[in-house]
Structure 1
């Protein structure tokens, strides 16, 4: 499956309530795959949040600091879920995407592209120690 087919399948599976396109190519793809979903372009400053941010050419021409800044602002202010198409020559490598909380969704060797996905809900699994069993029991405290 090529990267475009994978993105279309992801968008159809997610069915986001709204999409923020980080570039013109992403807007065109989102509008064609999800015709009934509102799609807006990424503005500066962001005016409202969306369910998903989609970027295809968003990281092209950016240095590492600018790319990290775009990703961080998008996560914080625009959308809790991000789909990014990343060329192999991107300034951010696999380790950097992992450090930013992304997972590798697909790789298209023919086009030399990778698709990275970020979801705030599944970003970090809850550790075993973080449950009621290890917390103090206030009903057992005596004044």
Structure 2
């Protein structure tokens, strides 16, 4: 895949926020180009340094987006993403750097239950990987988890087990 075929990071973010169609969107980023995309749709924005747990909104968000290149504290970046995933948002998207030496690496995000969403490119043709956690699509219901494989209360008086 060439870098010409990659979607611009700002354009991909704008599309994500537009498809969400909600004002309950939070972006944690230090880049003003990304911040303006979210603010244009009525969302909220925090910088990486201001992303402490007590500054996160109290209301449940529909979408939280974390820029992996924001100035996040190294010791609490995964804690912040986990807290957003578990407490504050229905969907969490992390825009991570392509190189593995970063705080929010591929291995760390996959370990937190994120799935790869896509790849984008910044202005300098630098690749960014997108990871998403959506609670509605997190776990597929297995085939064995249905009434056919379990005791049916409707049949309790009809048969003796």
TM-score range, shorter chain: 0.7 to 0.9
Cross-structure match for 1:55 = 66
CA-atom RMSD in angstroms = 2.5
Deviation at 1:20, TM superposition (A): 1.9
Paired residues, number = 139
Structure 1: tracts of 5 or more residues without a match: none
Cα gap change, 1:10 to 1:124, in 2 (>3 Å): same
Structure 2: tracts of 5 or more residues without a match: 1-6
1:104-133 CA-to-partner distances (Å, cap 9, x unmatched) read: 122135222111111110111111111111
So what's the TM-score if we normalise by structure 1? 0.80
Equivalence map 1:1-143=2 (5 Å): 1-25=7-31, 26-32=34-40, 34=41, 37-39=42-44, 41=46, 44-45=53-54, 46=56, 47-57=58-68, 60-63=71-74, 65-87=75-97, 88=99, 89-108=101-120, 110-142=125-157
Q: Larger radius of gyration, structure 1 or 2?
A: 2
Cα gap change, 1:57 to 1:141, in 2 (>3 Å): closer
